[in-house]
Amino acid sequence: MSIHFEERFASHPSDVKHYDTQQLRDHFLIEKVMEAGKIHLVYSHYDRYIAGGAVPVNGPLELTAIEPLKAPFFCYRRELGIINVGGKGTVSVDGKVYSMDFKEALYIGKGSEKIVFTSENSAQPARFYLNSTPAHKELPTRHITLKDANVLQMGSQQTSNERQINQLLISKVIETCQLQMGMTELRPGSVWNTMPAHTHSRRMEVYFYFNVPEGQAICHFMGQPQETRHIWMVNEQAVISPNWSIHSAAGTANYIFIWGMAGENLDYADMDVVQPNQLR
């Protein structure tokens, strides 16, 4: 079977304080997102968020409903966001084909039945990163490029967090039910993302790190601001961030990460900021 999935249950912050390294990784780290010829999905009980990846190589891969959805097809009650982090590929949505290059996004609305991924070149396959959330109404499928994105320049060289935030699937660019996605690129010499850190009680996030050079790593910080924890990650891994947790990281080299959010809060700027000297 080309689709592999697992469920992750929600954890109370008081319990997480007692987790050891392996428990933190088991509950929050998504170690395998991309695998040639397969679709990998993690169904999180935080806002019923699904994150995963599809890497079509020798033929197309179809996204069908997984058992926890109890649905006839994947987007029966869901919306889906896709960002390509590999070679050129296509996504077919109910017979309409969308060509996707590196760093391009696609929004697929509730009610879309047949979703199929293909790569243009099997030697350089597309690597489709997937995020999905429950949806309350049908919205049109739309292809989003970096030219369409709402771009923010944040941070500075002095604080080692100079970065460009490409808001792709966000209310200023496209209407969604609750899913929001974007891509943050660190400038050369900058290592920190999402600093100052923050929490937001009305939404959760998933971070996916890619373009991390071989032999390098990301140290992702999570937990309540006054009692933080960390998880070491490598290229093409993702991490689940509960609504009560900060989500920030530093890398041993430059990298890019994709953030995805879900919840009742669609205001990107609605957050509780925690200054670096306030973290514990």
Specify the DSSP element, H or E, that contains 14. Answer: helix 13-16
Residue type at 173 in one-letter notation: V
As a whole number of angstroms, the distance between CA 50 and CA 74 comes to 11
Mean of pLDDT values over 85-112: 98
Contacts by residues 152-161 (CB-CB < 8 Å, ≥ 24 positions apart): 155/190, 155/192, 155/195, 157/187, 157/189, 157/190, 159/192, 159/195, 160/189, 160/190, 160/191, 160/192, 161/186, 161/190, 161/191, 161/192, 161/193, 161/195
Q: Give yes or no for residue 18 having a pLDDT over 80.
A: yes
121-172 pLDDT, tens digit each: 999 999 999 999 999 999 999 999 999 999 999 999 999 999 999 999 999 9
What are the C-alpha distances in Å from 222 to residues 106, 227, 247?
Answer: 29, 9, 5
The band of 103, judged by pLDDT with boundaries at 50, 70 and 90, is: very high
**Residue indicated by tokens 């400038």:** 187
CA of residue 28 relative to chain centroid, distance = 13
Q: Give yes or no for residue 35 having a pLDDT over 90.
A: yes
Would you kindly state where each structural domain of the chain is located, as residue ranges?
A: 3-278
What are the C-alpha distances in Å from 45 to residues 9, 86, 240?
Answer: 5, 28, 10
Q: Give yes or no for residue 13 having a pLDDT over 70.
A: yes
| Contact status, residue 265 vs residue 203, Cβ threshold 8 Å | yes
| Contact status, residue 274 vs residue 197, Cβ threshold 8 Å | yes
177-234 pLDDT, tens digit each: 999 999 999 999 999 999 999 999 889 999 999 999 999 999 999 999 999 999 999 9
> Which three-class secondary structure state does DSSP give residue 12?
coil
39-83 pLDDT, tens digit each: 999 999 999 999 999 999 999 999 999 999 999 999 999 999 999
Listed residue (164, 83, 66) closest to 117, CA to CA: 83
Over its C-alpha atoms, the chain yields an Rg (Å, rounded) of 18
Q: What is the pTM of this model?
A: 0.97
User: 3-278 belongs to which CATH class?
Assistant: mainly beta
What are the C-alpha distances in Å from 68 to residues 41, 43, 47, 261?
Answer: 11, 8, 14, 20
pLDDT for the residue 1: 63
Q: Give yes or no for residue 9 having a pLDDT over 70.
A: yes
Q: Phi, psi at residue 252, to the nearest 5°?
A: -85, 0
Listed residue (185, 198, 107, 195) closest to 158, CA to CA: 195
255-268 pLDDT, tens digit each: 999 999 999 877 77
